């Protein structure tokens, strides 16, 4: 399966959720949810779900709801990240952010609803009960207190302070890496895969997750508003702790390359058909948006 084929499959599946075919009292909330869910993006997380499911011997079509659930969860996090009380961004993927279009209150509720619907989507899928439960457990661990939300809180606490590389790693392994790692593991879980496959998926996800965040920090300095689809230079303007500030471009680039190589190498522990995941790791390391 190619990246384009996966993406088309994912987009078609996402378009079936929260449709407004006929008027209903809270359709504005559904429209807000769909606005951000269907706003485009690389769809890396759902791709990871589907590909890890495939190479673990699972049914990719049956795993599609799990892939969509991960994207719902990711979309919720973006809506909330953009809020005035958080990053206060007015542009996301080249479009006005959710709260700019629908208002802050509706944006908060849209994020809340997407988070809940992510778990509902998994639990209502046609996967075996044990697979559904495992996928939901992995996702909950990745986004709760010890995962994405905890990482966001640590990021807020670190504002205005001089952080060390270890501090940034702690923040970003949760804030960014946890959901990427979960997507990899959820693909294995959807297939009913082995424990060693779950562990290998976690190691791959952690490595590309860290590389992804470092590359993100680089692009905030090196890319353009047109390429990124959002303002650049905001990290510097807001005096944020980033890998670029701490390490500089050359060391960041070397670290991304090392992490990417580690991700590709670890796949050999449990999988043989790894061409797609190797190519994906390479493309993420060199991405321009």
Contact 107, 83 (CB under 8 A): yes
Which residues are paired to 96 by β-bridges?
91
Q: What's residue 140's pLDDT?
A: 97
pLDDT at 160 over 90: no
pLDDT value at 1 more than 90: no
pLDDT tens for residues 49-108?
A: 999 999 999 999 999 999 999 999 999 999 999 999 998 999 998 899 999 999 999 999
**Confidence label for 45 from pLDDT (cuts 50, 70 and 90):** very high
Q: DSSP assignment, residue 1?
A: -
CA distances from 67 to 2, 48, 130, 162, 215 (A): 16, 8, 17, 37, 24
Gap between the Cα atoms of 232 and 226, Å rounded: 9
Q: What is the average pLDDT across 253-262?
A: 97
What sections of the chain are H helices per DSSP?
A: 3-14, 27-37, 44-55, 60-81, 98-102, 104-123, 129-143, 148-157, 165-175, 177-190, 195-222, 225-228, 234-237, 243-247, 249-266, 275-285
Residues above pLDDT 90, as percent of the chain: 85
Residues 232, 180: Cα–Cα separation, whole Å: 23
Burial code of 53-82, b = ≥16 C-beta within 10 A, e = fewer?
A: bbbbebebebbbbbbbbbbbbbbbbbbbbb
Backbone dihedral region for residue 91 (phi beyond 0: left; psi -120 to 50: alpha; all else: beta): beta
For 131-143, what is the mean pLDDT? 98
pLDDT digits (tens, 9 = 90+) for 172-218: 999 999 999 999 999 999 999 999 999 999 999 999 999 999 999 99
83 within 8 A of 125, measured Cβ to Cβ: no
> Mean pLDDT across the chain, nearest whole number?
93
Contact call for residues 46 and 67 (beta carbons, < 8 A): yes
pLDDT per residue as tens digits for the range 211-251: 999 999 999 888 766 666 666 656 555 667 899 989 999 99
- Domains in the chain: ranges and CATH: 3-285 (1.10.600.10)
Task: Please answer whether residues 282 and 46 qualify as being in contact, where contact means their C-beta atoms are separated by less than 8 angstroms.
Answer: no
Extract the tokens encoding 184.
Answer: 């990899």
Alpha-carbon distance of 165 to 175, in angstroms, equals 15
Give the pair of three-digit tokens for residue 11. Answer: 């987009």
Structure confidence at residue 161 as a pLDDT band (50, 70, 90): confident
Q: Closest Cα to residue 161, out of 221, 240, 245? A: 240
């Amino acid at each position: 399966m190619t990246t384009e084929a996966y993406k088309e499959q994912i987009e078609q599946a996402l378009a079936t959720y929260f449709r407004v075919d006929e008027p209903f009292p809270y359709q504005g909330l559904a429209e807000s949810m769909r606005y951000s869910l269907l706003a485009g993006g690389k769809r890396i997380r759902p791709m990871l779900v589907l590909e890890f499911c495939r190479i673990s011997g699972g049914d990719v079509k049956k795993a599609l709801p799990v892939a969509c659930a991960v994207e719902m969860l990711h979309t919720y996090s973006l809506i909330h990240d953009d809020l005035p009380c958080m990053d206060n961004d007015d542009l996301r993927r080249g479009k006005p952010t959710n709260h700019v279009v629908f208002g802050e209150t509706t944006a908060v509720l849209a994020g809340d609803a997407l988070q809940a619907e992510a778990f509902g989507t998994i639990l209502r899928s046609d996967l075996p009960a044990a697979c559904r439960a495992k996928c939901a457990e992995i996702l909950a661990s990745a986004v709760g207190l010890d995962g994405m939300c905890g990482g966001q809180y640590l990021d807020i606490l670190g504002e205005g302070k001089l952080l060390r590389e270890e501090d940034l790693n702690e923040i970003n392994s949760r804030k960014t890496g946890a959901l990427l790692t979960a997507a990899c593991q959820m693909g294995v879980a959807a297939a009913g895969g082995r424990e060693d496959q779950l562990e290998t998926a976690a190691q791959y996800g952690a490595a590309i997750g860290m590389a992804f965040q470092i590359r993100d920090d680089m692009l905030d300095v090196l890319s353009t508003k047109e390429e990124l689809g959002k303002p650049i230079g905001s990290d510097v303007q807001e005096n944020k702790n980033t890998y670029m500030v701490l390490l500089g471009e050359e060391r960041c680039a070397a670290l991304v390359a090392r992490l990417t190589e580690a991700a590709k190498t670890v796949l050999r522990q449990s999988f043989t058909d790894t061409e797609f995941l190797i190519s994906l790791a390479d493309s993420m390391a060199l991405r321009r948006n």
